[in-house]
Amino acid sequence: MKERLQNILAKAGVASRRSAGDLISSGRVTVDGVRVSEKGFRLEQEGHSVEVDGKPISANVPKLYFLLNKPKGVITTARDTHDRKTVADLFEKEGARLFTIGRLDKDTTGVLIVTNDGDLAHRLSHPSFEIDKEYEALVEGPIGPREVRRLERGVKLDGKQTSPCLIVRIGERNGAQVFRLRIHEGRKRQVRRMFEKAGGVVTDLKRIRYAGLETGKLKEGEYRKLTDKEIDILKRSDI
Ligand code: URA
């Protein structure tokens, strides 16, 4: 049976499905020695030699799943054209092509799932999955109960209303307020932009929970393998 080249690359752990599409359109993939740059290209799953940057892909790479406590100053894209430190750099010793499920800003810390399971990364990054995410934000500025209610009901970002969410003020630190937010969307710089809309500035942001997973004892920059049970939960996820 024929399958999309993009999916074959994702299943082989080369990249998430979306990034695999980018690899194809940028001309880095060959099939039986011929460069293919059409994203929708389909081929029989067996009997072809597929290479990325001249290296053959292997259909049976073991799947790896990690939970990273992301440190500040590290970006989540696979490759950086400006030579900045990436999450992939933190996993160099694992010797596998790994990518993140979703993204965190350069200066956001906390829970990030890193894997070579392109199918899972694709499914969980899709907005229809509504994964629960919890953040702790240090916010400067005049954010009172009224602003909090407004943010919980939803504000417009890029012309589209954010979904209802839960926000709890848990205290103060260094003269700023600390809020916990539970959201299930993953729009670009969502938490920072939501508070900006209400007149605040987020000066520190940490993701404290993703699909029920927490950093636990991991220090920033440390990671651990997910347990089989945790992997199962993610795979069954409509959390
Ligand atoms: N919201 C943000 O503003 N940044 C992140 O990294 C994650 C959520």
Contacts of 221 (CB under 8 A, 6+ apart): 69, 71, 90
Secondary-structure breakdown of the chain: helix, strand, coil percentages, each rounded to the nearest 5: 25, 30, 45
Is any atom of ligand 1 closer than 6 Å to the C-beta of 105? yes
What is the band of 11 on the pLDDT scale with cuts at 50, 70, 90? confident
pTM check: above 0.75: yes
User: Atom 4, ligand 1: which residue's CA is nearest?
Assistant: 189
Has residue 237 got a pLDDT over 80? no
For the question of residue 105 being annotated catalytic, the response is yes
Has residue 78 got a pLDDT over 70? no
Is any atom of ligand 1 closer than 6 Å to the C-beta of 189? yes
The mean pLDDT value of the chain amounts to 91
Which domains are seen in the chain, by residue range? 3-56 (3.10.290.10), 65-127+214-235 (3.30.70.580), 132-210 (3.30.70.1560)
Please say whether the beta carbons of 191 and 179 come within 8 A: no
Has residue 217 got a pLDDT over 90? yes
For residue range 148-183, list pLDDT tens digits in order. 999 999 999 999 999 999 999 999 999 999 999 999
pLDDT at 239: 46
Report in angstroms the alpha-carbon separations of 46 from 8, 34, 41, 58.
Answer: 10, 17, 15, 11
Distance 137 CA to ligand 1 centre (A): 10
For residue range 33-44, list pLDDT tens digits in order. 899 999 889 998
Has residue 64 got a pLDDT over 90? yes
Contacts of 215 (CB under 8 A, 6+ apart): 67, 69, 110, 111, 208
- Residue among 190, 188, 150 at smallest CA distance from 167: 150
Whole-angstrom distance, CA of residue 48 vs CA of residue 78:
26
pLDDT at 129: 75
For residue range 85-120, list pLDDT tens digits in order. 999 899 999 988 888 998 999 999 999 999 988 888
